Amino acid sequence: MLGVLTTALADVRSPSEESLPAAYSLCQNYPNPFNPVTTIRYSVPMRSHVTLEVFNTLGQSVASLINGDIEAGSQEIRFDARNLPSGIFFYRLRIGSFAQTKSMTVLKWGRINLRALVADGPGPR
């Protein structure tokens, strides 16, 4: 009886093994466009050295979000673009020979002076 129970348990996977991703992947950030914070999700099937960088349209690095060893699993990081101007940026995930890049849009809108709008009216001056 004990031998049968041991065999049955040997075929059961632990929940953590089942939830590990099968491949490296980089998801589209959400929300996009955003102001000023967005979330970037990515998957790592095994403990790996990971870099995640943000670049402007000239290819200049404007932020290094990750540069280190990350445990296996589905991960996410929040990116605060408060110090960046409005525009299109690219984020690149590198893990060994795997590299994937996606774009994101920072969309900042100015404050409207409602008092001046109400006092002067919306028409021409």
What are the distances in angstroms from CA 43 to CA 17, 80, 89? 14, 21, 21
Per-residue pLDDT band for 2 (boundaries 50, 70, 90) equals very low
pTM value > 0.85: no
Per-residue pLDDT at 80: 96
Report residue 102 as tokens.
């996606």
The pLDDT of residue 61 is above 50: yes
Report residue 72 as tokens.
């296996």
Q: Could you give the domains of the chain?
A: 20-118 (2.60.40.1930)
Per-residue pLDDT at 109: 78
- 4-24 per-position pLDDT tens digit: 433 333 333 434 555 899 999
Per-residue pLDDT at 13: 41
CB-CB contact of 67 with 51 (8 Å) = yes
Placement of tokens 């110090």 in the chain? 83
